[in-house]
Amino acid sequence: MKIGVLRERIAGERRVALVPDAAAKLIAAGHQIFVERGAGAAAGFPDATYEKAGTTLVADAAALSAAAPQLVVKVRKPSADEAAALPKGCALISLLTPGANEEILPALASAKITALAMELVPRITRAQSMDVLSSQSGVAGYKAALIGAAALDKFLPMLTTAAGSIAPAKTFVMGAGVAGLQAIATARRLGAVVSAFDVRGAAGEQVRSLGAQFVDPAAKAEGTGGYARAQTDDETAQNATIIAAHISSQDLVITTALIPGRKAPILVTDAMLATMRTGSVVVDIAAESGGNVEGVVSGETVLKHGVHLIGAANLPASVPLHASQMFSTNVRTLIAHLTAEDKSLKIDAADEIAGPMLITNAGEPVKR
């Protein structure tokens, strides 16, 4: 199978979908890899490393399309122009923002593209090694804790100095999924006193195992596949009372709550922010999906009631080398799953992994 690797063109996106090591393993498995020049440069993988791995470098996206790969891989959703330039009839593996990709569907249809969204890898045991959301969320949680610590006006750890003892900062993580758990672990390593909240009561054991306090929800909202479900208005109000009572004493708050395919839930209201001390910091990882904090602006830091509200955007791209390595492992494992015995690409809509990932099949939108 011929596989093409496109360079990312979205501003600030520094990751690459396939790193040289993964490319070499796919070549050893019998595939041909074509890489657009400069695709890995921002992630720390210059063209020479791809040449050494045995890939074929091509000048640009047009040249890659001319090589006629059966499969094209990239990190972020292509623009309408990028989608239109894909090889006719190929398959595409990428993050595709399901539910917010209408602008590229005509181009995918015209070129008869079979598109698989990495966000839709099912949460089953067989697909764990393909789960991009988990791998990249871990990066985001780690970086959110560092960003919060850097923006805070006080130390995170307890310090004993000649000038006296300094109490550790209090950090509150909202949402104890992969991102939240990594934020908890990182803040703990930095010496903060950490507490966490999640509407999934089962998350409490994981939070406590990291040495953090679990703030029990007043109303649980367990969903399927390990995710939380949307809360009713009454549940939201009950949990807001718990959050409001706890957040006022916190120095650093990190919010991570996401619901697949839906706008992020508001967990922190403007009134709650007003109770926090001047100089405290809130890092909202969910800002790109609407945000967990009222008034957050994706990609910007705003000051509200003396609180620094950071709308964290695309944090995995700020750790491009390791984020790319993990993303690449997810992609390589998926490719292995989609490879037939004769090394051709086999995408079966009835397959328990590929089926749920399909956005278009030979250009036709897949209805769910």
> Which CATH number is 177's domain given?
3.40.50.720
Same domain, 49 and 103: yes
**Do the beta carbons of residue 253 and residue 268 sit within 8 Å?**
yes
**Do the beta carbons of residue 5 and residue 39 sit within 8 Å?**
yes
Same domain, 299 and 157: yes
Is residue 299 a part of any domain in this protein?
Answer: yes
Is residue 130 a part of any domain in this protein?
Answer: no
Mean pLDDT on 241-270 = 91
pLDDT tens by residue, 196-244 = 999 988 899 999 999 999 999 888 877 776 677 777 888 889 999 999 9
Q: Tell me the average pLDDT of the chain.
A: 94
Mean pLDDT on 5-28 = 97
Of 318, 335, 351, which residue is a domain's last?
318
CA–CA gap between residue 292 and residue 314 (Å, rounded): 15
Same domain, 44 and 162: no
CA–CA gap between residue 298 and residue 252 (Å, rounded): 18
pLDDT tens by residue, 302-324 = 999 999 999 999 999 999 999 99
CA–CA gap between residue 194 and residue 269 (Å, rounded): 21
pLDDT tens by residue, 79-98 = 999 999 999 999 999 999 88
Same domain, 359 and 280: no
For residue 17, pLDDT beyond 90: yes
Same domain, 276 and 152: yes
Is residue 313 a part of any domain in this protein?
Answer: yes
Is residue 127 a part of any domain in this protein?
Answer: no
- Decide: helix, strand or coil at residue 299: coil
Mean pLDDT on 123-144 = 96
Same domain, 160 and 83: no
Same domain, 338 and 307: no
Q: What is the span of the domain harbouring residue 173?
A: 137-318
Same domain, 329 and 305: no
Of 302, 318, 334, which residue is a domain's last?
318
Is residue 289 a part of any domain in this protein?
Answer: yes
CA–CA gap between residue 180 and residue 142 (Å, rounded): 9
Backbone angles phi, psi at 27, to 5 degrees: -65, -40
pLDDT tens by residue, 282-291 = 999 999 989 9
Q: What is the residue type of 25? A: K
- Total domains present in the chain: 2
CA–CA gap between residue 228 and residue 256 (Å, rounded): 12
Q: What is the residue type of 172? A: F
Mean pLDDT on 4-33 = 97
Q: At what angle do helices 20-28 and 320-338 cross, to 10 degrees?
A: 20
CA–CA gap between residue 317 and residue 139 (Å, rounded): 9
Is residue 211 a part of any domain in this protein?
Answer: yes
pLDDT tens by residue, 26-69 = 999 999 999 999 999 999 999 999 999 999 999 999 999 999 99
Is residue 278 a part of any domain in this protein?
Answer: yes
* Residues with a known catalytic role: 123, 128, 131, 134, 227
Same domain, 147 and 237: yes
Strands (E), 198-321: 213-215, 252-255, 281-284, 301-304, 307-311
- Decide: helix, strand or coil at residue 52: helix
Query: Given the structure tokens 């210059």, which residue do they identify?
Result: 46
What lies within 8 Å, CB to CB, of 289 at 6+ separation is 258, 263, 264
- Decide: helix, strand or coil at residue 152: coil
Same domain, 275 and 214: yes
Q: Cα-atom radius of gyration of the chain, to the nearest Å?
A: 22
Give the range among 61-65, 122-126, 158-162, 219-223 with minimum mean pLDDT: 219-223
- CA nearest to 247, candidates 223, 273, 265, 222: 273
Same domain, 106 and 14: yes
pLDDT score for 236: 87
Same domain, 314 and 328: no
pLDDT score for 226: 67
Mean pLDDT on 143-152 = 98
**Do the beta carbons of residue 221 and residue 200 sit within 8 Å?**
yes
CB atoms within 10 A of CB 245: 12
Is residue 46 a part of any domain in this protein?
Answer: yes
Give the range among 18-22, 147-151, 228-232, 240-244 with minimum mean pLDDT: 228-232
CA–CA gap between residue 174 and residue 45 (Å, rounded): 35
For residue 331, pLDDT beyond 80: yes
- CA nearest to 296, candidates 337, 267, 326: 267
